[in-house]
Amino acid sequence: MAATQRIERIILIGPTGAGKTTVAPLVAALLGWRWLDIDAEVAREAGMDIPAIFAAEGEQGFRRREREALAEAMAHPHVIVATGAGIGEHEAARALIWPPDRANWVVALNVAPAIVWQRLTAEAQARQQTPGEARPMLAGDDPLGRLTTLYARRQAWYTLADETIVADDFTPDTLARRIVAGVVTRGLLPGTSKGGKPLVSMTRRVLLASADTPEAAQAPSSLSYEAVVAWGALATLGERLTALGLPERLHVVADANVAALYEPGVMAELMDAGFKPLIHRFAAGETSKSREQLNAIHDWLVERHAERGEALVALGGGVTGDLAGFAAATYLRGLPLIHIPTSLLAQVDASIGGKVAIDHPQGKNLIGAFYQPRLVVADPATLLTLPSRYYIEGWAEVIKHGVALNATYFESLERDAEALLARQPAPMTEAIARSVALKVAVVEGDEREREGGRRALLNYGHTLGHAIETITGYGQWLHGEAVSVGMVFASRLGRHIGVTPAEVCDRQEALLKRFGLPMRIDGLSAHELVRVMLLDKKARGGRLRWILPTALGQATLFSDVSEADVRATLAELGAVE
């Protein structure tokens, strides 16, 4: 895939009151970069505020100081720069904002003058000032007219921005994430950690056991698929889909939260590659894994006259992958499925292995199928826009792979926990790539979770985890949070019956605690949990079977576990009868 120019700075331009100063530190926090406000730097250097500079030196003096502050800001890499509304009116300033090396990414925040005026009026009233006192360029009669005139005059260079975002209705937090999503989609972020450690990228061809079936012989494309983990991989999506030889129409499915961030960039990437994508959005959250939402996607595909061979692209987290994947599996007896996972949980677990499903009121993932994708593209940079709680929950599935499958991997998570929590690119990418490789190795040997097969080990922590989600109402507990408690329960149950060493319990719980994951179920009903767990897919003959760790990196399926031991362990974690 072609190399992408990396950026060193994000420059925010746009009219006064667009929110540049408010948003800049939020963008910086998401990226772990510095931020600077040009007006604040000018005031600091001059030793007086902006109105005083205008009074003493006029607009010409202010603009000179503004260009000097901008030149100083451009000397620093990895910085977010909030500029003044009129900074680009001088050619020398424009040359700094748009240098020949293109190491800057310029984002224009576009807000209509009438909305800006409402914001500035409210701001001035809070300070017991007039808008003209706070903003010298608006001094005099008819400030709204003045604002409109300035906006029109500056549009000529506002339109030079690399990306323009209509920011009227975005909250500052969502706007910051939208800005980061824009550079992530284009693969523009630097590809090393703060310490300069190179990133790991992985492209693994998943070879399927179903390749041996007569049906597979009639459809060679279903014999395998590529699972890609690479920083900046989202920018290669169009090329990768083109290489698959797919028809030009694409059917993209995303929840509303992900669409707000990634829809513009992903749709542009696909159209630039010659595809004709349209998108279906649904309400975010586990409750959307329902018959109603499945029907809505089917209806949308029918309305579009979707044809067999046209791909369905699941853009988002685990809920999107499960829901859209099941729609792909069932519409016209199967559309090509492309997974673009944007959450940690989806990247390391839900998008790999071909399980797709919706929930039933009596149990999670009870209605589903095995349906393999044609391609998985996991870009760890998308995790920079993930809210903290949703990022943290994903580490439960990662830790699961270490405890149940590979002790060396678990030890690497212990070593790198703080860097992973800080979302440092290199450790994060490496951890995801290794987690995906572990799951791929299991899936290749046991594609459809045969009786007694190794794939059942991937359900470590899930028997109780799914029950927690079911009895509390889907969405109150995130999936990874419930799995975390499920792993604590399974290891302690193993310790009760003498198969799990105490050290495994202790190290697992210590690591879960470092990641801020829950480990108790205080107040939940043991009776209800046991009732729902009996619906688990691993249950046989009305008896539960448990995946319990026997050593760090090893787990085994046990069926001879008494209900008394189960209830005693539930009580130990705070469940009540």
Separation of alpha carbons 104 and 24, rounded Å: 15
Considering the candidates 263, 397, 447, 469, report the single residue annotated as catalytic.
397
Q: Choosing from 178, 251, 423, 462, which is the catalytic residue?
A: 462
CB neighbours of residue 516 within 10 Å: 14
Which residue from 345, 378, 433 is spatially nearest to 237, judged by alpha carbons? 378
Q: Which long-range contacts (CB under 8 A, 24 or more apart) does 535-543 make?
A: 535/362, 535/363, 535/366, 536/363, 536/463, 536/466, 536/467, 537/449, 537/459, 538/456, 538/459, 538/463
Per the annotation, the verdict on 462 as an active-site residue is yes
- DSSP character for 171? -
SS3 335: coil
**DSSP helix/strand/coil, 12:** strand
Q: Which tokens is 519 given?
A: 């480990």
**Residue 504 vs residues 337, 490, 500, 511, 566: alpha-carbon distances, Å:** 38, 11, 7, 11, 19
Phi-psi sector, 14: left (phi>0), alpha (psi -120 to 50), beta: left
Q: Which of 362, 537, 576, 372 is nearest to 453 (CA)?
A: 537
Q: Is 355 a catalytic residue?
A: yes
Out of 303, 333, 451, 577, the active site residue is: 333
Which residues have CB under 8 Å from 449's CB, separation 6+?
455, 456, 537
449, 495, 538, 545: the catalytic one is 449
Instruction: Give catalytic status of residue 289 as yes or no.
Output: no
- Listed in order, strand segments (DSSP E) in 120-201 are 163-166
* Residue 527 among the catalytic residues: no
**Which entry of 355, 364, 434, 496 is annotated as an active-site residue?**
355
> Measuring CA to CA, how many Å separate 201 from each of 109, 189, 281, 436?
34, 15, 30, 11
177 is catalytic: no
DSSP 8-state class, residue 336:
-
Of 65, 146, 339, 455, the active-site residue reads 455
- Identify the active-site residue in 339, 466, 538, 545: 466
Burial per residue of 365-386, b for 16 or more beta-carbon CB atoms within 10 angstroms, e otherwise? bbebeebbbbbbbbbbbbbbbb
| List 280, 374, 479, 538, catalytic entry | 479
Residue 107 is inside which H or E element, if any? Answer: strand 104-110
Interatomic CA distance for residues 345 and 393, integer angstroms: 7
The answer to whether 466 is a known catalytic residue is yes
401 is catalytic: no
d(C-alpha 71, C-alpha 69), whole Å: 5
Instruction: Point out the catalytic residue in the list 67, 400, 439, 492.
Output: 439
Given the residues 104, 110, 257, 459, the one annotated as active site = 459
Instruction: Give the catalytic positions in this structure.
Output: 333, 355, 397, 439, 449, 455, 459, 462, 466, 479
